[in-house]
Amino acid sequence: MEHRTLIVAANGRVASRVAARLAAAGDPPDVLVRDAAKAQRVLVDEHGRPAYRDLFVGELANDETMRRAMSRAAVGFLAVGSSPAQADLERQVIDAARQASLGHLVKLSAALAAHDAVSSVLRVHAEIEDYLAESQIPHTLISPTSFMDLVLVGAAFIREKGRWTGTAPDGVNALIDSEDVVDAVVQVLRDPAQRGGTHLLTGPDALSWPDVARAISAVTGRTIVYDAVSTRERRHQLENAGLPAWRIDLLLGIDELNRHSVYRTPNDSVRQLTGHPPRGIEDFLRRHFAVLAPPEVPPSR
Ligand SMILES: NC(=O)c1ccc[n+]([C@@H]2O[C@H](COP(=O)([O-])OP(=O)(O)OC[C@H]3O[C@@H](n4cnc5c(N)ncnc54)[C@H](OP(=O)(O)O)[C@@H]3O)[C@@H](O)[C@H]2O)c1
């Protein structure tokens, strides 16, 4: 059997960075994408060279292309974006992995996925995790808390108005920098000793959204106000903004994770797995300073 790594849906935010890290380490993965033109933009290094070995173009389906890609791989990585189709798509990939006798599948899930969770994201992942367990495919779950990157969803409003709206003024979340998720996935893909079971990954600090607003204020040197509104009012705002119902449920569900402090407890998993401490919120905000601060504001030191 070849020792190739296959990244499925490799154009994704997490997956493309995993591919880049593996390529930079001299071990480029095979990649499967649905959009070859996007791969030419996101799956290249700074010199424009491909960050992959072989490129497969196909859907997230149990089809010939998927099975051919898997038949060459010893391990696969699966990270599918949220949508109403997510569970079905991941089930198709799991079916293909079983038919192709894939040796190991690493799946990006979410911490504390459960059928009765307060967030739709966790309920969807619980469904997929069950399916994966029933498939008997050897697998590893990468299960992070909410990403710090969620701040960027409201970045334009924060930059323009100095305000940020949500429904969770109370409650905390040990938010994780998605860079740490990428580092953890790379470790698991490169080191078979790290595979199996669930890696529940957290950031270093349990933060409320107003804590994050204060951190943005400190980094940008401008007061950012967290406007707390009721869930009903927020739903109304998001409907008026034209968001589809599933995305509104997803965003409100993420606030529910904070309101219930579901991710209240930071752990040491990132350090144990990657050898470095988890990145903190200030580090994250400094790296994304340009999208959060008005153009004239220099970064605070
Ligand atoms: N954000 C958080 O706070 C958080 C926390 C914990 C866990 N997670 C989990 O992390 C995962 C998201 O990771 P990410 O941000 O890297 O994902 P992403 O960039 O939004 O999407 C990953 C890939 O999914 C593909 N995809 C989506 N719908 C598809 C479809 N209908 N057919 C084929 N491909 C499709 C996309 O393809 P294209 O590139 O072609 O569009 C993309 O390449 C989710 O499962 C989420 O639950 C997120």
Residue 92 and residue 120 in one domain: yes
Residue 230 and residue 283 in one domain: yes
* 300 belongs to a structural domain: no
Q: Using pLDDT thresholds of 50, 70 and 90, give the confidence band for residue 207.
A: very high
Residue 156 and residue 249 in one domain: yes
Q: What is the CATH number of the domain that holds 225?
A: 3.90.25.10
* 298 belongs to a structural domain: no
* 301 belongs to a structural domain: no
Residue 84 and residue 194 in one domain: yes
Kindly state the average pLDDT of the residues 136-140: 98
What is the residue range of 244's domain? 150-172+204-266+275-292
Residue 32 CA to residue 59 CA, distance in Å, equals 8
* 19 belongs to a structural domain: yes
Q: At what angle do helices 120-135 and 245-259 cross, to 10 degrees?
A: 100
Q: 65 pLDDT exceeds 80?
A: yes
Residue 211 and residue 194 in one domain: no
Q: 108 C-alpha to center of ligand 1: Å?
A: 9
Residue 87 and residue 158 in one domain: no
Residue 233 and residue 101 in one domain: no
218 lines ligand 1 (CB under 6 A): no
* 235 belongs to a structural domain: yes
Q: 300 pLDDT exceeds 70?
A: no
Q: What is the CATH number of the domain that holds 73?
A: 3.40.50.720
150 lines ligand 1 (CB under 6 A): yes
Percent over 90 (pLDDT), the chain: 94
9 lines ligand 1 (CB under 6 A): yes
Residue 185 and residue 212 in one domain: no
Residue 27 and residue 114 in one domain: yes
Nearest CA to ligand 1 atom 6: 110
Residue 90 and residue 64 in one domain: yes
79 lines ligand 1 (CB under 6 A): yes
Residue 215 and residue 139 in one domain: no
Residue 23 and residue 68 in one domain: yes
Return the best residue to mutate from 21, 56, 80 for the ligand 1 pocket (most ligand atoms within 8 A of CB).
80
* 297 belongs to a structural domain: no
pLDDT tens per residue, range 23-64 = 999 999 999 999 999 999 999 998 999 999 999 999 999 999
